[in-house]
Structure 1
């Protein structure tokens, strides 16, 4: 197995990592490392300071869309019976969480930009004995985060012939 080259984290990834790292508990007998505060990226100059004495009026921030909810029963039945087309699919089998997250984000971004409405995300059921797969547990949580809210309207486990509990139907938001 070959190692992939080390990539630097984006500011968004760094914030997400710091949120996850706060929930981690150090091993017994180990000290907690000092908290790392996300700062500006190296080599990037700080933004210019406005010269005017009046405070700058910031543009009103767009509110995030509501979090994804479950698909309604009629739509779920139509997808399961093939009366609504699944316009694209992505298979996350055998990937690490980082690889799967990146691929899922870029896939949903491209599908949303292309105006697709229903896609299938295959996570697999996992191979751990007696437990669920990591991606099977993680992907629904990812779809509920603010990073995916711009694309995802709703999601639900797929019908058995589409992968059952190892796959998800995802309805994407309409492009405005």
Structure 2
């Protein structure tokens, strides 16, 4: 590797003259290493970028921020919850709702959850899938799938709300954000 040489005074003056005429490219700002003899030129910090808001029409209701099942308050014991969220607790039963319509999926989910509780299961896995990204003007699909959004709501409403104790997003080995754990109450 070649050893770097120090700049001569006329080279430093030329560098300073050129550097004072350049405006920094904020998008692709590269870190430049200046020789130790030169004073450091600090580029201007870019202004903070405001968050991009979704398209909104007058009179339209806002879409839900997130319908992740993990937002429900902790109602089960902490040790079991920690084992469940780390994927160490295996689900006793599972249902896959891929390819079903809302009506079919709702009926199947009610039948599955109530049947699992009747059999004495405590932890079941409901696979909804992540969904396809929808059109920009379709606010239902913006978060990624109708089933993924509806299942947590169905699990809070009667008759399932009486059987369900806790709903949490599944661990990656069990489907991640495309599935949810449902912890059932004892019969």
The aligned counterpart of 1:109 is 114
Give the stretch that moved more between structures: 149-158 or 72-81: 72-81
Unaligned runs of 5+ in 1: 1-67
Q: Select the residue among 81, 88, 91 that pairs with 1:83.
A: 88
Runs of 4+ in structure 1 deviating by more than 4 angstroms, as ranges, are: 68-73
Structure 2 counterpart of 1:154, from 166, 171, 176: 166
Contact 2:95/2:126, CA 8 A, preserved across alignment: yes
Q: Give the conservation status (yes or no) of the 8 Å contact 2:163–2:184.
A: yes
With the length of structure 1 as denominator, give the TM-score of the two structures. 0.56
Q: Distance in 2 between matches of 1:69 and 1:108?
A: 20
1:141 aligns with 2:153: yes
2:177 corresponds, among 139, 154, 165, to 165
- TM-score after normalising by structure 2: 0.53
SS in 2 for 1:146: coil
- Unaligned stretches of 5+ in structure 2? 1-71, 137-141
Deviations 1:115-164 (A, max 9, x none): 00000000000013372100000000111102212211110111112111
1:97 maps to which residue? 102
Distance 2:109 2:86 in 1: 25
Aligned ranges for residues 28-47 of structure 1 at < 5 Å? none
Aligned length: 108
RMSD: 2.0
* Contact 2:87–2:171, Cα closer than 8 Å, also in 1: no
Cα deviation digits, residues 35-91 of structure 1 (max 9, x gap): xxxxxxxxxxxxxxxxxxxxxxxxxxxxxxxxx744655433312445323100000
